[in-house]
Structure 1
Amino acid sequence: MRSSFPSVGAVLLLIDLQRAIDHRSWGERNNPQAERQVGRLLFHWRSRRWPVWHIRHDSANPESHYRSGQPGNEFKPEVAPVADELVIAKQTNNAFIGTDLEDRLRTGRHDTLVVAGVITNNSVEATVRMAGNLGFQTYLVADGCFTFARTDCNGMLRSAEDVHAMSLANLDSEYCTVITADVLLDTSG
């Protein structure tokens, strides 16, 4: 992966930043400043008129806080799309599956993605893996994502910070370049 950030044509892809993620049933999360970091990225992209695309999870599960028609399906106000920004709805954990995301990227000649959102080890990881496999130059903003504690297959509870760190480690260098918002903003013009 290249270490310098190419700004021309980069799509800021924001994944599942919806009110559902704030429901108490998720438990304690890591990176409480993620929305602030995403807000900084949004300001930077919007001020340059670079493409900002939002992925919205429309769950088909009747128990999900993400299902359509529920308050949790709405975007978080601090990172919500504005009128001219693309919103792509998905129903799986991967923004490429069952959507026209890849077609839109290729048609628009966008070969670089900057990804932030939730959940690091779920929808973010699934989407970043696919983006890397499809040949897109992908940057994952480590402090623009967050996740929750999980119990591993041996019954050991892993902290949200550990789950987040392991997911980033699994992705970095093979599927994407993991980067911080500060480094990205300093190098993107």
Structure 2
Amino acid sequence: MLTLPPSTVLLAIDMQQAFDDPAFPPRCNPDCDRNGLALLAAWRDRGMPIIHVRHDSVEPGSKLRPDAPGNAFRPGFGPQGGEALVTKSVNASFIGTDLDLRLRRLGATHVVVFGITTDQCVSTTVRVGANMGWRMVVASDACACFDMPGLDGATIPAETVQAVHLATLAAEFADVRSTAEIVAALP
């Protein structure tokens, strides 16, 4: 049974408007936003620490560049009431940021992660965090990813990409649970 201490930090990764652009391939998990908002509400109701991560791309033409409309948070996902914001320009939220220091200053041991995309920024952040000694928990139903072209040219459905990445994270890097299970584990 999962039990989370009051110092558990919720890490919301890249919940940005760019991922709604129709240029992206089909996405899995239409409940990602609803579940992510439920996690934010649970943390806020308990006064527990939340850190938002925003991808500020440095790539020319990226929809995630700070000057692009897609860089903005999706409705309901921006920091509120003094919640922390970490900005990054690579996949891992720990690389080139003060995330590790922020977690240490909060006295955290556990980090619950959700966001977009499961196979890139979520997975990379979780893997690095686990390697750094953080007890990582992934909210499986509050993450999403997109169809991906396979090496053979065939499309790998987003649902398959999601399932494989969550299974890989669960095998070695994180406790992978549903939003309901995580909320039930809160103090």
| TM-score (normalizing by structure 1) | 0.95
Deviation per residue, 1:71-100 (Å, 9 max, x gap) = 111111122211310000000011001001
Say which of 95, 100, 103 aligns to 2:101.
103
Calculate percent identity across the aligned residue pairs: 36
Give the secondary structure class of the aligned counterpart of 1:76. Answer: coil
Q: 1:136 aligns with which of 129, 134, 137?
A: 134
Contact 1:35 1:78 in 2 (8 A): no
1:5 lines up with 2:35 in the alignment:
no
Q: CA deviation at 1:66?
A: 0.4
Q: Tell me the distance in 2 between the aligned counterparts of 1:121 and 1:33.
A: 17
Q: In the alignment, is the contact (CA less than 8 A) between 1:93 and 1:123 conserved in 2?
A: yes
- Within a 5 Å distance, the mapping from 1:49-128 to structure 2 comes to 49-128=47-126
Q: How many residues align?
A: 187
Aligned-residue offset at 1:42: 0.8
> In structure 2, which of residues 30, 36, 39 is the aligned counterpart of residue 38 of structure 1?
36
1:24 aligns with 2:26: no
The answer to whether the 8 Å contact 1:38/1:144 transfers is yes
Residue aligned with 2:172, SS: coil
In 2, Cα distance between equivalents of 1:37 and 1:88: 21
Does the alignment pair 1:175 with 2:173? yes
Moved over 4 A (4+): none
Report the residue type matching 2:86 in the other structure: I
Q: Deviation string for 1:114-157 (max 9, x for gaps)?
A: 00001000000000001111111110000000000012223331
TM-score normalised by the chain length of structure 2 = 0.96
1:138 and 1:40 map into 2 onto residues whose CA distance is: 19
Paired letter, 1:35: D
Unpaired runs of 5+ in structure 2? none
Q: Within 2, Cα distance between the matches of 1:84 and 1:173?
A: 35
Amino acid paired to 2:158 = A
CA distance in 1, matches of 2:155, 2:75: 32
Deviation at 1:186, TM superposition (A): 1.6
CA distance in 1 between partners of 2:177 and 2:15 (Å)? 19
Distance in 1, matches of 2:84 and 2:54, equals 10
Q: CA RMSD in A?
A: 1.1
Rounded Cα–Cα distance in structure 2 between residues aligned with 1:7 and 1:147: 29
Higher mean alpha-carbon deviation, 104-113 vs 117-126, is at 104-113
Consecutive unaligned residues in structure 1, runs of 5 or more: none
Give the superposition deviation at 1:113: 0.2
**1:166 and 2:164 aligned:** yes
For 1:64 and 1:83, how far apart are their aligned partners in 2?
29
